[in-house]
Structure 1
Amino acid sequence: MIQRLKIPVLLTLSAALLSGCMVVKTTIQPPQFQVQSFELTRYTIPNILNPFNGEATFVMNVQVTNPNAFGLQIQRIQGDLLLDGLNFGKAVIPNLRLEANGSSVVTTEFTLPVNLNLASKIADIAQGRKVDYLVKTTVQVDTGLLGTATFSNIVVAQGSVNN
């Protein structure tokens, strides 16, 4: 009778130990983005001697929200700015900490050298014409115990430039 009890007890103890060692798989959700504002804030006009010496600066305020039940350390957000479908440049936001289910408003600038395509878009904006923008990013996050994750081609912002 003692022999018969040993096997079920050993099986129960083994199952309890194994279940304690099992890792619960948690899916990391990418941060969510909501644009607060996007505008052309500065334009330096090129001069005749150097027609491509100008710069244009677009400023974007975006609320970044962590939809996860655990904190995220965003190591890097790298975004591409497209105006009417043409890629004009990048912006990088490093080191952003988001608490569990928390959010933060981030301001980023796209400072771009002027070329003929960008000068044309700026002229459209100055004249009140519609210029569509799109910001697509790659986001790299560190969750601590769950490791790091990279999310690509996330649309952060989409709309029309406000002058």
Structure 2
Amino acid sequence: MKVWHASLLVPAVAALLASCAPRLGAAVQVPQITVEQTALERLDPPGLGIPASATVSLKLRVRNPNPFGVRLSRVDGDFYLDGLKVTQVSAPGVDIAATGVSTVTVNVQVPLSNQNLGKFADLAVGKTVAYRLEGSFEVDAGALGKPTFGPYTLAQGVIKDAPILKAPEFRFRPELAKLTFGNDGIVLELGLEVHNPNVLGFRLEAPLELRVGGVAVAKASLSGTVGAKNAGVVYTRFQIDPLALPQALIQGRFSFSVAGSPVLIAPGITEKRFGLEVLTQGSAERR
């Protein structure tokens, strides 16, 4: 989710702010801050059993109009979505050469609440959401002082691109597999590692089928939760009719594939279903 924006700092505002600075600081022209790029980096909604939070990245571009180098030593402000204040912003310091430009990226952590969840839900499903960054900043100009400018609107714009939900990646973990033979048939227990490439955390549900030689021999299901851009392990258990795998009874091992139709559920935000496909494959052996 990437959006490019223009600065709102007009010369009249710059002149007014400069006139309010300390005497030495008045010789310092106001650096211009723009938000070049915004992105919803991650969103873990409530109901996943992990802290509900969102991360928004702001790429700030700072232009120094002065004929000498300065350091933007502090940027403090408030970040708004559709007029609702969702968090405070503190940017790290950055050095800017004379008449030069520097960039700094700020990752803003936002604990989700009943008040702001709807705004992030709108972002996740592709609705246009207006943002505004209100704040002030301090400039370290050496012998010319450390004037502070603001508070005022540093930048504003809209975010309107929804993240595309991709299917998670499943990996067979051999050390988590257990194959047993008993009176109730053949039982295969699996631990599957699930990698979530999305900025959205979800609850995962999937009907599964176990295939041996391309033929379905058992069915099961799995469920679990995986945070945004994270990984986790989910477990499932197949009970197999011995008559379906006579060779397994003789040899004590077999190769298989697991097919399924994953359903990703972000509570209160969205849900996406994927078609039946092979998720992973491996082999099991009686220990």
Question: Structure 1 length normalisation: TM-score?
Answer: 0.76
Distance 1:66 1:45, change over 3 A: same
Task: State the AA in 1 paired with 2:147.
Answer: A
Q: Secondary structure at the match of 2:119?
A: helix
Q: Secondary structure at the match of 1:145?
A: helix
Task: State the AA in 1 paired with 2:69.
Answer: G
Identity %: 33
Task: State the AA in 2 paired with 1:146.
Answer: L
**Any stretches of 5+ residues in structure 2 without a counterpart?**
1-23, 163-287
Q: Secondary structure at the match of 1:148?
A: coil
- Is 2:40 aligned against 1:40? yes
Aligned counterparts of 1:71 and 1:28: Cα–Cα separation in 2: 11
Residue equivalent to 2:129: 131
Aligned counterparts of 2:25 and 2:74: Cα–Cα separation in 1: 24
Q: Secondary structure at the match of 1:159?
A: strand
Deviations 1:84-114 (A, max 9, x none): 1111111212321111111111111111000
Task: State the AA in 2 paired with 1:103.
Answer: V
Aligned counterparts of 1:86 and 1:158: Cα–Cα separation in 2: 13
Residue equivalent to 2:30: 30
Question: Quick one: which of 79, 82, 107 aligns to 1:81?
Answer: 79
Q: Which has the higher strand share?
A: 2
Aligned counterparts of 2:136 and 2:75: Cα–Cα separation in 1: 6
Aligned counterparts of 2:39 and 2:115: Cα–Cα separation in 1: 18
Offset of 1:31 from its aligned partner?
1.4
Distance 1:151 1:101, change over 3 A: same
Map 1:141-156 onto structure 2 (within 5 A): 141-156=139-154
**Aligned pair count?**
138
Moved over 3 A (4+): none
Offset of 1:35 from its aligned partner?
2.2
Offset of 1:69 from its aligned partner?
1.1
Distance 1:71 1:117, change over 3 A: same
Q: Secondary structure at the match of 1:46?
A: coil
Contact 2:84/2:116 (8 A) holds in 1:
no
Larger C-alpha radius of gyration, 1 or 2? 2
Q: Secondary structure at the match of 2:127?
A: coil
Offset of 1:48 from its aligned partner?
7.0
Q: Secondary structure at the match of 1:128?
A: coil
Q: Which has the higher contact order (CA 8 A, sep 6+)?
A: 1
Deviations 1:117-150 (A, max 9, x none): 2210012112222110001221011111111100
Residue equivalent to 1:107: 105
Deviations 1:49-80 (A, max 9, x none): 78xx3000111112111111111112111121
Residue equivalent to 2:235: none
Aligned counterparts of 1:54 and 1:130: Cα–Cα separation in 2: 22
Map 1:49-128 onto structure 2 (within 5 A): 53-128=51-126
Distance 1:61 1:94, change over 3 A: closer
Task: State the AA in 2 paired with 1:42.
Answer: R
Aligned counterparts of 1:26 and 1:116: Cα–Cα separation in 2: 44
Aligned counterparts of 1:25 and 1:56: Cα–Cα separation in 2: 38
Offset of 1:33 from its aligned partner?
1.7
Distance 1:46 1:73, change over 3 A: same
Offset of 1:153 from its aligned partner?
2.1
**Any stretches of 5+ residues in structure 1 without a counterpart?**
1-23
Aligned counterparts of 1:26 and 1:91: Cα–Cα separation in 2: 26
Task: State the AA in 2 paired with 1:34.
Answer: T
Aligned counterparts of 1:116 and 1:71: Cα–Cα separation in 2: 45
Residue equivalent to 2:155: 157
Larger deviation, residues 29-38 vs 55-64: 29-38
